Amino acid sequence: MKKRIHSFTDDILGDLDATGIAELVKNKELQAEEVVAATIARAKQVNPKINAVVTDCYEKALATADQHVDGFFAGVPIFFKDLALVEGLPNYYGTAAFDGAKPAKKNDPIVEQILAQGFVNLGTSTMPELGITCSTEFADAPPTCNPWNPEYSVGGSSGGAGALVAAGVVPMAHSADGGGSTRIPAACCGAVGLKPTRGRILLSKMFAKQIVEIAIDGVITRTVRDTAHFYGEAEKYYHNPKLPKMGTIANPINRKLTIGFTGKAAQGNGADAQMTAHLHEAVKILEGLGHTVKEVELPITDELMEDFKYLWGMSAFFMKKFGKSLVQAPFDPSKLSKLTHGLSDFYVKNMFKTPFFVRRLKRANRLYDEFFKSNKIDVLLSPTMTHGTPKHGYLNMVAEFDEIFPRMEKWACITPFCNATGAPSLSLPLIHDEENDLPVGMLFSANHGEDGLLLELGYQLEEAVGWKGINS
């Protein structure tokens, strides 16, 4: 019996993606106000079941919808992750420690870059506490539920974004990725999630303060073309001169690639038997399209994984110690979860290693470049996560740190590599687990600046295989 929760109906939105909606608004076949009203109706229908919205601004969105006439995505609704500063909305960062937060006085740079494309903001979406874990669960509130099956995790930390897109509320939602936080929820929810090359897009204010630049904003979508159009339009607003221009990628790859694949990470972690089988399904699909696929060894050393864990802990420490000044909001660290306290304590014990792991992480991009050159590959294929999406509770925020943290690092040990290196990485819902009726994400990573290559490959895979829709 299907347990899926979604809002796809025969309303004016149907199963249109953001590009499809934008085209109808542009051609005046739909009015932006109609689109927003239908989206709000969908949100009200499913959000009580999936718990993906933090704060809404529905009335304002309705009142101003028809003012959004400029930009490629004019009139298309969107939600922002609850860490981005959006004028007039408070930020809670997924924790009760920021209870009583005041509305932001101005938009983050990334919010301006997104709104410049014509999007209509409907509010903020859920994230786990401070974005430090990969499942959107809370110590003091119900979890954000996976629309494919509410008993399962939606991933994280952009869990609300993934849930809203998968459930058909919005075709695109803002996300952010500091260790897999765009790609993991995309994989859990059967969506498309690109972590772009470092510097490709403007950042939230919180990310601008990073000691090591690992986190970057993005979007979760249902289609490759929506992701491609988003980054093409974002580039018109801001282009980093250090990166090659990408433009709007509109067509599938027209050449054969050499693709390396692996299911192994560091510290003995890697894909379990079921995920390994799914990985080999993906290999067969790529070979069927004429690409050369060969097994490689991912250069994630045990030391590099430890370095990322120290950085993970350092982020928790700084938020615990300086949270009030960092986010300019009322802050009670006693309300932080056991996981945050545990991560902070882990860093304190290893604080003396800070200059060494920071230096190594900043040099990780060189290791990555050499990996691509030495293996003579264009793209790297791996599972997005090492095993299937877990049920709620497996990564909860109430259990002891020593119990939960090893589970986190085992499940999400592949995605952080591209955060450390700054390289682009794209999760696609290429495989479907028929037994559990859950999507399975496959991760495609490329060298720095090759975001367009990943999107071209994404187009080809989407065209050749397609993704199983939640409303199918």
pLDDT at 378: 98
pLDDT at 431: 98
pLDDT at 269: 87
Residue 245 annotated to the active site: no
Question: Which residue, among 144, 192, 195, 158, has the nearest Cα to 17 in the 3D structure?
Answer: 192
Measured distance CA(16)–CA(72) in Å, rounded:
15
Provide the pLDDT confidence category of residue 69 given band limits of 50, 70 and 90: confident
Residue 427 annotated to the active site: no
pLDDT at 344: 96
pLDDT digits (tens, 9 = 90+) for 330-347: 889 999 999 999 999 999
pLDDT at 210: 79
Q: Where are the domains of the chain?
A: 18-464
Residue 425 annotated to the active site: no
Catalytic residue among 181, 315, 344, 382: 181
pLDDT at 117: 97
Q: What kind and span of H or E run contains 192?
A: strand 192-195
Average pLDDT over residues 300-322: 89
Q: At a CB cut-off of 8 Å and minimum separation 6, what does 152 contact? A: 145, 146, 188, 389, 390, 391, 392, 438
pLDDT at 226: 98
- At CA 237, angle to CA 231 and CA 241, rounded to 5? 85
Please, what CATH class does the domain formed by 18-464 belong to?
Answer: alpha beta
In the block, tokens 């897109």 appear at: 165
**Total-model pTM:** 0.97
pLDDT at 84: 95
pLDDT at 98: 87
Does position 95 have pLDDT exceeding 70, yes or no? yes
Provide the pLDDT confidence category of residue 430 given band limits of 50, 70 and 90: very high
Average pLDDT over residues 397-421: 93
pLDDT at 212: 84
Lowest mean pLDDT among 200-209, 366-375, 438-447: 200-209
Task: Find the distance separating the first CA and the last CA of the chain, reported in whole Å.
Answer: 14
Average pLDDT over residues 441-447: 98
User: Is 2 or 272 the better-scoring residue by pLDDT?
Assistant: 272
Helices (H), 350-450: 354-362, 364-375, 401-411, 416-421
- From residue 421, alpha-carbon distances to 139, 182, 292, 361 in Å are 32, 16, 25, 8
pLDDT at 367: 87
pLDDT digits (tens, 9 = 90+) for 44-54: 999 999 999 99
pLDDT digits (tens, 9 = 90+) for 21-46: 999 999 999 999 999 999 999 999 99
Catalytic residue among 135, 153, 157, 344: 157
pLDDT at 94: 95
In the block, tokens 């979604």 appear at: 6
CB 97 within 8 A of CB 323: yes
Percentage of the chain surpassing pLDDT 70? 99
164-189 in b/e form (b: 16+ CB < 10 A) is bbbbbbbbbbbbbbbbbbbbbbbbbb
pLDDT at 143: 98
Does position 174 have pLDDT exceeding 70, yes or no? yes
pLDDT digits (tens, 9 = 90+) for 365-401: 888 999 999 999 999 999 999 999 999 999 998 889 9
Provide the pLDDT confidence category of residue 75 given band limits of 50, 70 and 90: very high
> Which pair of tokens denotes residue 89?
């909305």
Average pLDDT over residues 270-286: 97
pLDDT digits (tens, 9 = 90+) for 111-140: 999 999 999 999 999 999 999 999 999 998
Measured distance CA(393)–CA(269) in Å, rounded:
21
pLDDT at 200: 97
